[in-house]
Amino acid sequence: MIRLIQTKMAKKTTHWKTKDVNGMRMMICQNSKPTMSKYSEFAPEDGECDEWSEVGTDTTASLCWRCTARSVNNIRLK
């Protein structure tokens, strides 16, 4: 159920900044704009995230390993 909801939300996601590094497609963590992020509850405590992650060509949003780790640890799980 949770997985279904997340997939739906991902399709509505805004386009995030990307850049090419040595042929790899990098994307800024969506918590660089916590107000736009679907995972803002996992954003850094002190503000915006500026971590980039390697993504595939069909990726529309990325959550960096730091924020992913926070979600895995369920630090702010409701």
Residues at the site binding Zn ion, with contacts judged by CB under 5 A: 29, 31, 49, 51, 64, 66-67
State in angstroms the smallest separation of the CB of 23 from Zn ion: 23
State in angstroms the smallest separation of the CB of 42 from Zn ion: 8
Sign for the CA dihedral angle at 19, 30, 63, 66 comes to positive
Q: What is the distance between the alpha carbons of residues 57 and 43, in angstroms, rounded to a whole number?
A: 24
Contact (Cβ atoms closer than 8 angstroms) between residue 27 and residue 18:
yes
Nearer to Zn ion, 1 or 74 (CB): 74
State in angstroms the smallest separation of the CB of 7 from Zn ion: 20
